Amino acid sequence: MATSSIQRQVRLPASVAFGVVMQGIRIRLGRALVTLMGVVLGIAFLMSILTGQTIRQGVAREAEARAEVKRMMSFLTAEIGPVEGRALGVVALGPLNDLEQRLLTELRNCKASRLQWSGPLPPGLPSGFVQPAAGRAVGQGAAALLVMGAGAPDDASWKEWLAGAEQPVAAVTRRTSRAPAGAICLAREWQPDELRARAEEARRLKFRTGWIIVISLLVSVIGISNAMLMSVTERFREIGTMKCLGALSQFIRQVFFIEAGLMGLIGSAAGCLFGVVFAAAAYSLSFGTSLVLASLSPGTLLLHSALCIGAGLVLSIVAAIYPAGVASRMVPATALRSTV
């Protein structure tokens, strides 16, 4: 009896494969950058679409808010005449919403002399302009009384507020306040057909962006998988050599997946950055920088970045499945013969 000495090959830790990958990337930096560009372009496209969508939505919201404030202003001035040089009484029942804040700013821009204020003071307005009212009679000597914030004041409150007013005009900015007869409501009343049209428009927009995102994902998939395939085919000989030297198929697979993961991570991070910068720059040209920057919230950006990096990583690894399989199944002799 003789015992044959054939044993099983040891499985190498992933760190060895990682070392091989890093070495390959470092030496073939130019080639790695080309592969990386495939990922970067795909993800930059996706990210710029997402960011562009955010910017467009933000700008649309902003434009709508501005139009709404203009409308509220014109309602008010239609009732009381120009506000220039006149005082207004304001009762803040609770925290103000965006539109109410904007209305206050608009009042200041229209050169109202001052606001006689009752309730929590709003931020961002100079104290000379906003003055806490003396006592309950907020509307004393004021052109009009504005009641802002959510709440339903009783009739007695209204009476107190309007006592001594220049003209007893009351205006509410929200639908819910229990206003006395003759009070005007500045809030917009949406008609059912208007609501339907808005919903329809939102649905169309959603469909359109969904479609564009699908296309951009397709572009990314093709770019990334092409890059990964190239990096395998150009290394057939190297893979064959490694197999001749005793590399396991599993090791070869590991090398490709680690490389794909690294490329995916770095490429999509860079792609995200490029995408955001590109979209912001492009939309700045038509909407102006401040409006674009204001419409980009860090939260949304972060969410989209995470989405894009995740997509880039997954796509890279999925794209590497086929090439890595081809490489790991290759018979050493065949791999050595190839002249790619």
Q: How far apart are CA 162 and CA 90, in angstroms?
A: 11
Structure tokens at 199: 């919903």
Q: Contact 27/235 with Cβ under 8 angstroms?
A: no
Nearer to other proteins, 153 or 332 (CB): 332
97 in contact with other proteins (CB under 8 A): no
From the CB of 336, what's the least distance to other proteins, in Å? 6
Q: At its nearest, how many Å lie between other proteins and the CB of residue 305?
A: 32
Angle between helices 192-233 and 236-244 (to 10 degrees): 60
**Cβ 247 to other proteins shortest distance, Å:** 6
Among 2, 134, 181, 285, which residue interacts with other proteins (rule: CB under 8 A)? 2
CA separation for the pair 137, 167 (Å, rounded): 13
User: If binding means CB under 8 A, how many residues of this protein chain bind other proteins?
Assistant: 34
Query: Contacts with other proteins in 43-82 (CB under 8 A)?
Result: none
Q: Is 130 exposed, middle or buried (0-12, 13-18, 19+ CB in 10 A)?
A: middle
Determine whether 318 is exposed, middle or buried from the number of CB atoms within 10 Å of its CB (0-12, 13-18, 19+): middle
Is 340 among the residues that bind other proteins (CB under 8 A)? no
Residues 223-282 touching other proteins, rule: CB under 8 A, are 237-238, 240-249, 251
CB of 318 to other proteins, least distance (A): 25
The verdict on 222 binding other proteins (CB under 8 A) reads no
> Is there a contact between 272 and 45 (Cβ–Cβ < 8 Å)?
no
Judged by CB under 8 A, does residue 8 bind other proteins?
A: yes
Q: Check residue 27 for interaction with other proteins (CB under 8 A).
A: yes
Q: Which residue in this structure is represented by tokens 């690294």?
A: 262
* Footprint on this chain of other proteins (rule: CB under 8 A): 1-10, 12, 16, 23-24, 27-28, 237-238, 240-249, 251, 331-334, 336
